[in-house]
Amino acid sequence: METPKILPHGTTKEQWDKYQLDLKNHNAWCDSRESFARDVIWMVQNHGAEKTKEMIKSQIYDIRFLDAPNAPGYYRANND
């Protein structure tokens, strides 16, 4: 939904801009969950549930620790 040319009573352009950003982020999150579900279903069909579980846990571990943001003042990145 785009910002209306004439804003409804009681709303501001800033509210509509925030709504647009929130909606974009919401749709991106939903798309990422849908993609993840498709990948999991494919992996279960092709590798079995136990192997899929191991692979997902490994990927989450890597993301959680290797892709985490660096604390201020650290001289080495998490992925070093």
Tell me how far apart the alpha carbons of residues 68 and 12 are, in angstroms, rounded to a whole number. Answer: 36
Scanning 48-79, the segments in alpha helix (DSSP H) are: 49-66
Tell me how far apart the alpha carbons of residues 15 and 22 are, in angstroms, rounded to a whole number. Answer: 10
Residue 56 reports pLDDT greater than 90? yes
Residue 54 reports pLDDT greater than 90? yes
Tell me how far apart the alpha carbons of residues 59 and 78 are, in angstroms, rounded to a whole number. Answer: 15
pLDDT at 77 (0 to 100): 63
The answer to whether residues 78 and 70 touch, using CB atoms and an 8 Å cutoff, is yes
For the stretch 4-48, pLDDT in tens is: 888 888 999 999 999 999 999 999 999 999 999 999 999 999 999
Query: Predicted confidence band at 66 (pLDDT cuts at 50, 70, 90)?
Result: confident
Closest to 24 in 3D by CA, of 42, 3, 52, 49? 3
pTM above the 0.75 mark? no
Query: Predicted confidence band at 3 (pLDDT cuts at 50, 70, 90)?
Result: confident
